[in-house]
Structure 1
Amino acid sequence: MGAWVSGVGEGRSVVDAVTGEPICTVDATGLDMGKVARYGRQQGGSALRAMTFHERAAALKETAKQLMAMKENFYELSFKTGTTRADAWPDIEGGFGTVLSYASLVTREFPNDSVLLEGDMEALSKMGRLWAGTS
């Protein structure tokens, strides 16, 4: 894993909802989805956990900016579903804007750390040997 992989079958056509013309084909034949999930958990998960909140926010911000630069491609695809530009706007630009807003929120309100402690510590045992954080 760690690379884009294509299915080995004929795939299934995705058609334009307005014209009925094929847009593309999708295929997962021959893909080991268990291997995909394991890779995500072992490689992607550990890489994500190693990042600080600010690093994660920066990655999300960069992704949203790159997708926003390609917004016309998304509109063209949305037209093939029978929608208008006005109907697609909340899903396309609104979606990217939401990601950008959350990225900014994280850099303002979260520490530049990979751990967030909330509230004070509280003893959970009579002898004070077991503790938990509270919010």
Structure 2
Amino acid sequence: IFTIHHLLRGASANEFIIALYAIEEIFTIHHLLRGASANEFIIALYAIEEIFTIHHLLRGASANESIIALYAIEEIFTIHHLLRGASANESIIALYAIEEIFPIHHLLRGASANESIIALYAIEEICTIHHLDRGAS
């Protein structure tokens, strides 16, 4: 979904903004994975799975399937505050960071323990970028 040049090539401005706002909940997963209970961890993994299901739909989907996926994102994620204070450059950095999430999908599907750990570190790296973009040390 976050491969903007494929997904939103014909989208309205409003659809583009919805996609950007949806990114915020990915970084919420970062916090769950850092010091979460077992149950919260499972919830986080399910959330990741939903993101990638949408990703695959949009890779070779019909126009109708793409529209359904956009609505699904709106439903799955609470749309509120991702890029409302970000500069144009920070927004671009955030979009590039999302591209790194997709290999994690394959690791989490049937990966070895080591591969899963690598995937979790990759998530943390993405979220570090996110926090830096927002003005964090």
Answer 1 or 2: higher relative contact order, Cα 8 Å, separation at least 6: 2
TM-score normalised by structure 1 residue count = 0.30
Structure index of larger Rg: 1
* Structure with the higher fraction of residues in helix conformation: 2
